[in-house]
Amino acid sequence: MSEKIHVERIKGGKWALTNGDQSQPPKAVFKHKIDAVLSAEAMVKPADVVVHNAEGQILQNYKIKTSRPERVMRNALISVIKARSK
């Protein structure tokens, strides 16, 4: 079984990469959630990234049927999220 990385909100509104154990220090801390998710996906398979909302609940991934490649849709969403966070 491969290691899972959790993206969780921490004090100050920042997002941390953890192993899900609150007693361990975070692996990394980011200002924006999208940056934390992308960094986690670079470390492990996307299926091994567990994303939490600000209240700590685990978010579920959904597959959306589209004729566009998944990468194109993902890049478009990332662009919009980053533009809104500026």
Check residue 82 and give left, alpha or beta (phi > 0: left; psi -120 to 50: alpha). alpha
Residue 72 is predicted with a pLDDT of 86
Residue 3 is predicted with a pLDDT of 87
Number of domains in the chain: 1
Residue 53 is predicted with a pLDDT of 92
C-alpha to C-alpha distances, 53 to 31, 58, 62, 65, nearest whole angstrom: 14, 6, 15, 24
Residue 1 neighbours by CB under 8 Å, 6+ apart: none
pTM for the structure as a whole: 0.77
Residue 43 is predicted with a pLDDT of 93
- List the helix and strand counts (H, then E) for the chain: 2, 4
Residue 57 is predicted with a pLDDT of 93
Residue 1 is predicted with a pLDDT of 52
Which structural domain range is residue 49 located in? 5-84
**65: exposed, middle or buried (C-beta count within 10 Å: 0-12, 13-18, 19+)?**
exposed
List per-residue pLDDT tens for the chain, 86 residues long. Answer: 568 999 999 989 999 999 988 788 999 999 999 899 999 999 998 889 999 999 999 988 767 778 888 788 888 888 888 888 76
